[in-house]
Chain A
Amino acid sequence: MHDKTLAELSQGLADKAFSSVELTEHFLKRINDLDGNYNSFITITEEQAVAQAKAADEQLAKGNTQALTGVPIAHKDIFCTEGVKTSCGSKMLDNFVPPYNATVIEKFNAAGAISLGKTNMDEFAMGSSNETSFYGSVKNPWNTSCVPGGSSGGSAAAVAARLAPAATGTDTGGSIRQPAALCGITGLKPTYGRVSRYGMIAFASSLDQGGPMTQTAEDAALLLNVMAGFDAKDSTSSDTAVADYIATLNDDLSGLTIGLPKEYFGEGLDPAIEASVQAAIKEYEQLGASVKEISLPNTDLAVPCYYVIAPSEASANLSRFDGVRYGYRCEDPKDLHDLYTRTREEGFGEEVKRRILVGTYALSAGFYDAYYKKAQQIRRLIKNDFVEAFKEVDVIMGPTVPNTAFGIGEKSNDPVAMYLEDIYTISTNLAGLPGMSIPAGFANGKPAGLQLTGNYFAEAKLLNIAHRFQQATDWHKQLPATIADQVEG
């Protein structure tokens, strides 16, 4: 069953080809048998999943079905789940069991989806390799000595290894798209404000956005149909009408203008990835699209701009982890100061501390104008680059990442090299635009991702563009050899 897409599994349930309990138990068994190889889950909610599946089967029998009734998925451990540990990949929250659900979780519950468990991630979503997780590195199913990307590396690996048909992720600077690219799956970061952030543990509030991580664009559309929408609990969520993302998947692409930013094809890009991207562009031309070179002149400012804004926001967002009300507390604090300092020293990992320090510095009196304020000005310039570009083109394409999956440990002592892996994804978050990564072939035997960036709230268009490509190609159907061997006849 695990060789099927979410859409196919949903159809199978409707056709009574198998029950939700059978389907759920199949994936639970795969996780139990195989996740030792990948470490993609932090928590497996076996009992809850089976109970949900039984309830789903009753609903299916009655014909009362919602969009995802009976379909199992996995959630990044950043989404708060009532009664289920939500760690955010950190020792700080290793004992934290939220008394509430994130809005995204509520929506999936209402849609009838089954939750298999919570996936591994970089600590507080700070990382591009999943190496910063308190629960250990996740391994890339295409090559288990390589990273799966991050921060939604657990979700990406789980979908790539078919331990879950689909998963949720979050993306602050590329955390859905980059692991999707490195693991050869489809990932969509919606427009900022399209998906509620309530109950999604904050890294950088003005950049964070939840989205689907799936095998196909069609599956991403199914998930986004459930996830998207205004939430009165999130002041930054948008009340722009939500499209039916399935309805326009097959729209014709003739007349589509694709913009190729020249800045995305320069120094630092692996030529093998570039070749994959160029081949994908050719495919689009076959589908009726035309191509135009564009310029996003402030691209090189995106990484430094991001590494001021995101840590600044994070430095305040993570102040609540103080050992007073929940989460980790140091042993035998001598006094209040000791409670604060030791709790945070012991509870946070290195990368989180590094970013808190950078953010605290950037916001300090005397540095604010030079860093935070300047970064906000640059952010507007970057946004304007895109606004100008979308006057000429319908979608912007390029590589998702400059390199394929790198070895575990290879870049962990060089934060700047690690940060540069996000060079193509970060601008999208700074501008608040929707972006996708879809499989576009292989470079050096590892998956290469094609990034699609759309205009504000153009998710339906992006999904349509991605779906038509997947109708014409089969890169998204490729499986790592070990997984392909497990596919039943």
Chain B
Amino acid sequence: MEWETVIGLEVHVQLATQTKIFSGSSTAFGAEPNTQANAVDLAMPGTLPVLNEQALKNAIMFGLAINADINKKSVFDRKNYFYPDLPKGYQTTQMDEPIVGAGTVEIQLKNGSHKTIRIHHAHLEEDAGKSLHEGVLSGMGHGSSGIDLNRAGTPLIEIVSEPDIRSAEEAVEFAKKLHSIVTSLGISDGEMSQGSMRFDVNVSVRLKGEEEFGTRTETKNLNSFKFMEEAIELEVERQIDILEDGGEIIQETRLYNGDTKTARSMRSKEEANDYRYFPCPDLLPVVIDDSYIEELGNNLPELPDARQARFVESYGLSEYDAGILGGEATTASFFETVTEQCGDAKLAANWVMGELSAKLNNEEIGINHCPINAEQLGGLISRIKDNTISGKIAKTVFEAMWNGEGTADEIIEAKDLKQVSDTGALETMVDEVIANNTEQVENYRNADEGKRKKMLGFFVGQIMKASKGQANPGMINQILLKKLND
């Protein structure tokens, strides 16, 4: 039997506003518990919400970026349930009349093909606080739990896709594309490790060719692309196993544990809450006009697809490289600054995607926290371009820059790494190597053209070794050829 996977995603994106969606508290991450929660966030009696207009603008910008309908009237609703990290006993969200209507997102798969994922809608809502259990904070006694309301009221957009996704790979590409859209728009910091983007995945399977959807499950609160991919693969396998054994899928909410790579049922459909949604009477419907939307549309930052096309067009990059460098706003801007500084897009692309990206991955840090800034990297590449140093020496300089030893020029100077391009000095070196390796010189001279090319490498290597890598490789080649062929 051949099975087809059907996936729909609900993606929560924290918006990068200075203050919360309905209060003036800061949204900065990492503060001491409950230091960024005011009377409104604590749901003190009599307090009232006031919509942060920046959150609204951010949501509209997202809608425009995915060519969605922007609803000129949207309504906040109350979603009622009790939980200690939900101070009001309801979450303020949007149900029937969200700010962003239907839109589309284009994704590119590894095999180069493109696919359109439809967005059902995107709505604004507030985040909940966090429950901290025993041991998280000092002073928390045995069996006790604490509540940190710093996150309560952080603005979110929840992006709901249609069930257009057919594999974990597509899901990841879709999620990455959303990440690159929201970071390019500057409406989210996209810091996955801080929970800025979280995924709920709805998964079902059906026999290939079947029209009807199978029964789906929802796996909630996945906070990395990797966990999402793993959770989907695990769930697809589980569902196929059940169905092939003649069983039935139960509609339920599931939780995935990224550490143990296992998932478990959280609650079935029967146990689901009745959230008793109704329009929030403390907030008036949000009514906007065309000019409001138009103004935001006119000032929209460059989007990933447009940037990718521009990188191909103006820098001569391959579509693949342009996709990698142009996808994320921070990477794109880093690359463009490097290019501007060194004047060579190809070299800049190689360094950003090669050495830099490897080092960042290795150290598990994002490009926005890179210890070498784009100007500095551009400075290093300039020294390769003007033959001050070789590409090989450049890697040594890069390491030193990473460790904070200064700019490329300072390091080259301090470590005396300048490439030797002086003809006289290089000729002396070549002469010495020829004199010390008479046998190899003899063999070289007796060899045919094809073999000579290979043998040349030996002499180059000897000279580079003697010069501690600082000899100009191009010039050595020329001099060697001339002297050996004489």
Could you list which residues of chain A lie within 8 angstroms of chain B, going by C-beta atoms? 78-80, 86, 88, 93, 96, 98-100, 102, 197-202, 204-206, 232-236, 312-313, 315-316, 319-322, 324-326, 336, 340, 360, 363-365, 368, 372
Name the one of A78, A79, A236 contacting B282, with C-beta atoms under 8 angstroms.
A236
Minimum CB distance partner of A231 in chain B = B48
A370 to B311: give the CA distance in the assembly, Å: 58
Contacts of A102 in B (CB 8 A): 46
B51 sits at the interface (CB 8 A): yes
Asked whether, in the complex, the Cβ of B88 is within 8 Å of the Cβ of A232, the reply is no
Contacts A234-B48, A236-B284 given; indicate if A316 touches B90 (C-beta within 8 A). Answer: yes
Name the one of B48, B49, B51, B278 contacting A316, with C-beta atoms under 8 angstroms.
B278
Asked whether, in the complex, the Cβ of B89 is within 8 Å of the Cβ of A199, the reply is no
Asked whether, in the complex, the Cβ of B89 is within 8 Å of the Cβ of A235, the reply is no
A326 to B466: give the CA distance in the assembly, Å: 77
Contacts of B46 in A (CB 8 A): 78-80, 98, 102, 197-202
Asked whether, in the complex, the Cβ of A324 is within 8 Å of the Cβ of B282, the reply is no
Question: In the complex, given contacts A99-B39, A235-B49, what are 13 additional A-B residue pairs having Cβ atoms less than 8 angstroms apart?
Answer: A100-B44, A205-B282, A233-B50, A234-B48, A235-B51, A235-B282, A312-B278, A315-B80, A315-B276, A316-B80, A319-B82, A320-B45, A364-B274
Contacts A312-B278, A316-B78, A364-B274 given; indicate if A198 touches B90 (C-beta within 8 A). Answer: no
Contacts of A372 in B (CB 8 A): 278
Minimum CB distance partner of A361 in chain B = B276
Contacts A100-B39, A363-B278, A364-B276 given; indicate if A336 touches B84 (C-beta within 8 A). Answer: yes
Contacts of B274 in A (CB 8 A): 364-365
B283 sits at the interface (CB 8 A): yes
Contacts A93-B45, A200-B46, A364-B274 given; indicate if A319 touches B80 (C-beta within 8 A). Answer: yes
Asked whether, in the complex, the Cβ of B50 is within 8 Å of the Cβ of A368, the reply is no
How many residues in B have their beta carbons less than 8 Å from beta carbons of A? 28
A164 to B161: give the CA distance in the assembly, Å: 61
A315 CB to nearest chain B CB (Å): 8
Asked whether, in the complex, the Cβ of B281 is within 8 Å of the Cβ of A206, the reply is yes
Asked whether, in the complex, the Cβ of B45 is within 8 Å of the Cβ of A96, the reply is yes
A93 to B51: give the CA distance in the assembly, Å: 28
B300 sits at the interface (CB 8 A): no
Q: Which residues 265-294 in B have Cβ within 8 Å of A in the complex?
A: 274, 276-278, 281-284
A99 to B37: give the CA distance in the assembly, Å: 13
Contacts A205-B281, A236-B284, A325-B43 given; indicate if A360 touches B50 (C-beta within 8 A). Answer: no
Asked whether, in the complex, the Cβ of B48 is within 8 Å of the Cβ of A319, the reply is no
Asked whether, in the complex, the Cβ of A363 is within 8 Å of the Cβ of B80, the reply is yes
- 6 cross-chain CB contacts under 8 A: A78-B46, A93-B45, A198-B47, A313-B278, A321-B45, A325-B44
Asked whether, in the complex, the Cβ of A235 is within 8 Å of the Cβ of B84, the reply is no
Asked whether, in the complex, the Cβ of A360 is within 8 Å of the Cβ of B84, the reply is no
Asked whether, in the complex, the Cβ of A324 is within 8 Å of the Cβ of B147, the reply is yes
Contacts A316-B78, A336-B84 given; indicate if A86 touches B284 (C-beta within 8 A). Answer: no
Asked whether, in the complex, the Cβ of A199 is within 8 Å of the Cβ of B47, the reply is yes
A78 CB to nearest chain B CB (Å): 8
Asked whether, in the complex, the Cβ of B45 is within 8 Å of the Cβ of A201, the reply is yes
Contacts of B42 in A (CB 8 A): 325-326
Name the one of B45, B281, B284 contacting A98, with C-beta atoms under 8 angstroms.
B45
A75 CB to nearest chain B CB (Å): 13
Contacts of A205 in B (CB 8 A): 281-282
Most buried by A among B47, B84, B90: B47
A232 to B48: give the CA distance in the assembly, Å: 10
B378 sits at the interface (CB 8 A): no
Contacts A206-B281, A235-B284, A316-B78 given; indicate if A324 touches B84 (C-beta within 8 A). Answer: yes
Q: Which residues 42-75 in B have Cβ within 8 Å of A in the complex?
A: 42-51
Contacts A235-B284, A363-B278, A364-B276 given; indicate if A322 touches B89 (C-beta within 8 A). Answer: yes
A164 CB to nearest chain B CB (Å): 22
In order of increasing CB-CB distance, the 9 nearest A-B pairs are A319-B89, A205-B281, A206-B281, A363-B276, A199-B46, A320-B43, A201-B45, A201-B46, A80-B46
Contacts A312-B278, A313-B281, A363-B278 given; indicate if A325 touches B87 (C-beta within 8 A). Answer: yes
Contacts A99-B39, A236-B284, A324-B84 given; indicate if A368 touches B44 (C-beta within 8 A). Answer: no
B325 CB to nearest chain A CB (Å): 44
Most buried by A among B45, B49, B88: B45
Contacts of B45 in A (CB 8 A): 80, 86, 88, 93, 96, 98, 201-202, 320-321
Contacts of A99 in B (CB 8 A): 39, 44
Asked whether, in the complex, the Cβ of B82 is within 8 Å of the Cβ of A322, the reply is yes
Contacts of A322 in B (CB 8 A): 82, 84, 89
Most buried by A among B46, B89, B281: B46
A206 to B280: give the CA distance in the assembly, Å: 9
Minimum CB distance partner of A372 in chain B = B278
Contacts of A326 in B (CB 8 A): 42, 44
Asked whether, in the complex, the Cβ of A320 is within 8 Å of the Cβ of B89, the reply is yes
Contacts of A324 in B (CB 8 A): 84, 87, 147
A65 to B277: give the CA distance in the assembly, Å: 49
A411 to B44: give the CA distance in the assembly, Å: 33
Q: Which residues 361-410 in B have Cβ within 8 Å of A in the complex?
A: none
A43 to B284: give the CA distance in the assembly, Å: 35
Contacts A322-B82, A325-B87, A364-B276 given; indicate if A197 touches B48 (C-beta within 8 A). Answer: yes
Minimum CB distance partner of A336 in chain B = B84
A338 to B39: give the CA distance in the assembly, Å: 26
Contact with A along B317-341 (1 / 0, CB 8 A): 0000000000000000000000000
Contacts of A79 in B (CB 8 A): 46
Most buried by A among B51, B78, B276, B282: B276
Name the one of B88, B147, B277 contacting A319, with C-beta atoms under 8 angstroms.
B88
Contacts of B84 in A (CB 8 A): 322, 324, 336
B126 CB to nearest chain A CB (Å): 14
Name the one of A200, A234, A236, A320 contacting B88, with C-beta atoms under 8 angstroms.
A320
B153 CB to nearest chain A CB (Å): 14
Minimum CB distance partner of A206 in chain B = B281
A78 to B45: give the CA distance in the assembly, Å: 9
A96 to B45: give the CA distance in the assembly, Å: 9
Minimum CB distance partner of B42 in chain A = A325
A162 CB to nearest chain B CB (Å): 29
A198 to B278: give the CA distance in the assembly, Å: 21
A368 to B278: give the CA distance in the assembly, Å: 9
A238 CB to nearest chain B CB (Å): 10
Asked whether, in the complex, the Cβ of A232 is within 8 Å of the Cβ of B47, the reply is no
Asked whether, in the complex, the Cβ of A235 is within 8 Å of the Cβ of B50, the reply is yes
Contacts of B147 in A (CB 8 A): 324-325
A455 CB to nearest chain B CB (Å): 21
Q: Which residues 26-50 in B have Cβ within 8 Å of A in the complex?
A: 39, 42-50
A212 to B112: give the CA distance in the assembly, Å: 71
Contacts of B283 in A (CB 8 A): 235-236
Asked whether, in the complex, the Cβ of B281 is within 8 Å of the Cβ of A360, the reply is no
Minimum CB distance partner of B145 in chain A = A336
A313 to B276: give the CA distance in the assembly, Å: 11
Minimum CB distance partner of A323 in chain B = B84
A372 to B80: give the CA distance in the assembly, Å: 15
Name the one of B44, B48, B87 contacting A235, with C-beta atoms under 8 angstroms.
B48
Contacts of A80 in B (CB 8 A): 44-46
Name the one of B48, B281, B284 contacting A198, with C-beta atoms under 8 angstroms.
B48
A125 to B141: give the CA distance in the assembly, Å: 39
Most buried by B among A100, A321, A360: A100
Contacts of B39 in A (CB 8 A): 99-100
Asked whether, in the complex, the Cβ of A316 is within 8 Å of the Cβ of B89, the reply is yes
Contacts of A336 in B (CB 8 A): 84
Minimum CB distance partner of B34 in chain A = A325
A322 to B89: give the CA distance in the assembly, Å: 8
Asked whether, in the complex, the Cβ of A319 is within 8 Å of the Cβ of B90, the reply is yes
B95 CB to nearest chain A CB (Å): 11
Contacts of A315 in B (CB 8 A): 80, 276
B36 CB to nearest chain A CB (Å): 15
A201 to B42: give the CA distance in the assembly, Å: 14
A363 to B81: give the CA distance in the assembly, Å: 13
